[in-house]
Amino acid sequence: TDVLLVEASGSAVVNGTIKSLSATDFLVNIDRIPEWAFVVQLKGMLNDSAHYLHTLKAS
């Protein structure tokens, strides 16, 4: 699973790391918070065969 902060109006990216704390709780670490507007993008797998991509807009 990957977590990225992606520039909302461009192509800049800040990578993050994700750690599972439990079946439903996760901790995300980001080296720096960007100065530009960004969306949070989560990429991973729902199960062994289904990939997913979810994007959340930061406010």
What pLDDT was estimated at residue 41?
A: 87
Whole-prediction pTM value? 0.69
Number of domains within the chain: 1
Residue 9 predicted with pLDDT over 60 = yes
For 12-45, write each residue's pLDDT tens digit: 999 999 888 988 888 889 989 899 999 888 887 7
Q: Which residue range is the domain that position 33 belongs to?
A: 2-57
Which strands, in side-by-side order, build the sheet including 13-20?
A: 26-30, 13-20, 2-7, 38-45, 51-57
Segment (H or E) for 40: strand 38-45
CA distances from 4 to 29, 41, 49 (A): 10, 5, 22
